[in-house]
Every structure is written in structure tokens, then in C-alpha cells.
């Protein structure tokens, strides 16, 4: 138990050191706020509250300004995201062509319950997005930035299985 308490400050210190590096790379100015937030989110897969406060202090801007930018743009997330991001299109064409069955299949496969977006093991995040701009491929799904068109529940499960197998192979190496 005491070991966990000792390790936490070191992890927090290391996190702030990386954020400080990002700030230095982008420039410690208010005009660099969005690139800083983008790089921090790329590093952590979301924007932790304590890091937003650190950024505000480093840039000498009110925390409300940093929080306002982080919540205004849809690209930013204040909630932790999983290692694998699945985006299911909920545009008209995808909705009409059965995206609900695909969403249900994903939830069942990765173990998401009603109202959950990220699995407890932080491996999967499911996002419903307004439109992916791939209406001709409806229903469309993006998994880790790779687009899949004309999806079915069976195809999406196969794609998830493939990622899980790849992850197992990487662990064995």
C-alpha cells in the first residue's frame, strides 16, 4: 500500500514534465492553446482536469479560458478514452441502413453497458458521430482512424476480433 502512495507523486511529476515539454514545443502563448491541447490529448487520449489547470498557469490565462476552449471544440474530450476508438455514423443514411444493430453488436462484443462509452479496462471507446461523410458506404464505422463501409454486425465483430488478435500478438513479442 505504501508503495502505491510513493509512486503516485512521481507519475504526476512525470506527467507535468511532459506537458511542460509540449508547452515549450508549441510556445507558451495564449495563441498556442489549441495546438497544446491537441498534443496533450494525443499524449493522454483526453484532457485531465489537473493538466488543464497546469496549462492555464503556464500560459498565464484564467483556467476558465482553457476549460472553455477544451469544452467548445468537439475534438477535445474531458473523459478518458480507450486505446481503440470506434466511431459509428448516426447520419441519416447510416441510421436508415441499420446502425443501431451495429452499435448493439459493438456494445455486446466489447462489454459496454447502457450509457457507457468506454470499457472499464480502457481498451475500447464507442462514439456516435453525426456524420462521417461516407454516405455512399452506409452504414459506416471508423475504428482507429480506418473507415469501414457497408457494415453489418458480423463485419464489425470481425474487425474487432482482428484488432484483439493483433493486440495479443503484440503482447507476446
Give the Cα separation of 108 and 119 in Å (integer). Answer: 11
Mean pLDDT along residues 37-48 = 95
Q: Do domains 2-72 and 84-172 have the same CATH topology?
A: no
Give the pLDDT confidence of 88-101 residue by residue, as tens digits.
Answer: 999 999 999 999 99
pTM score > 0.75 for this model? yes
Q: pLDDT band at 11, cuts 50/70/90?
A: very low
Sheet containing strand 84-89, edge to edge, reads 124-129, 84-89, 141-143, 146-148
Higher pLDDT, 4 or 161: 161
Among the four given CATH numbers 3.30.1330.10, 3.40.50.880, 1.10.390.10, 3.40.30.10, the one describing domain 84-172: 3.40.30.10
Give the Cα separation of 136 and 149 in Å (integer). Answer: 8
Residues near 94 by Cβ (< 8 Å), separated by ≥ 6?
Answer: 88, 132, 135, 138, 139, 140
Give the pLDDT confidence of 122-140 residue by residue, as tens digits.
Answer: 999 999 999 999 999 999 9
Give the Cα separation of 72 and 50 in Å (integer). Answer: 18
* Overall residue count recorded for the chain in this entry: 173
CATH 1.20.120 fits 2-72, yes or no: no
- DSSP letter string, 105-128: HHHHHHTPPTT--B-TTSSEEEEE
Delimit the domains of the chain by residue range: 2-72, 84-172
Amino acid at each position: 500500500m505504501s508503495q502505491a502512495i510513493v509512486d503516485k507523486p512521481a507519475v504526476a511529476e512525470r506527467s507535468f514534465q511532459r506537458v511542460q515539454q509540449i508547452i515549450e514545443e508549441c510556445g507558451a502563448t495564449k495563441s498556442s492553446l489549441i495546438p497544446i491541447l491537441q498534443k496533450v490529448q494525443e499524449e493522454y487520449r483526453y484532457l485531465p482536469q489537473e493538466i488543464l489547470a497546469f496549462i492555464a498557469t503556464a500560459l498565464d490565462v484564467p483556467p476558465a479560458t482553457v476549460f472553455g476552449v477544451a469544452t467548445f471544440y468537439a475534438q477535445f474530450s474531458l473523459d478518458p478514452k480507450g486505446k481503440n476508438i470506434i466511431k459509428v455514423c448516426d447520419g441519416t443514411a447510416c441510421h436508415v441502413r441499420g446502425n443501431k444493430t451495429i452499435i448493439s453488436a459493438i456494445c455486446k462484443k466489447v462489454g459496454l453497458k447502457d450509457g457507457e462509452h468506454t470499457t472499464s479496462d480502457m481498451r475500447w471507446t464507442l462514439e456516435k458521430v453525426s456524420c462521417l461523410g461516407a454516405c455512399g458506404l452506409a452504414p459506416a464505422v471508423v475504428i482507429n482512424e480506418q473507415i469501414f463501409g457497408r457494415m453489418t454486425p458480423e463485419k464489425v465483430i470481425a474487425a474487432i476480433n482482428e484488432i484483439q488478435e493483433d493486440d495479443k500478438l503484440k503482447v507476446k513479442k
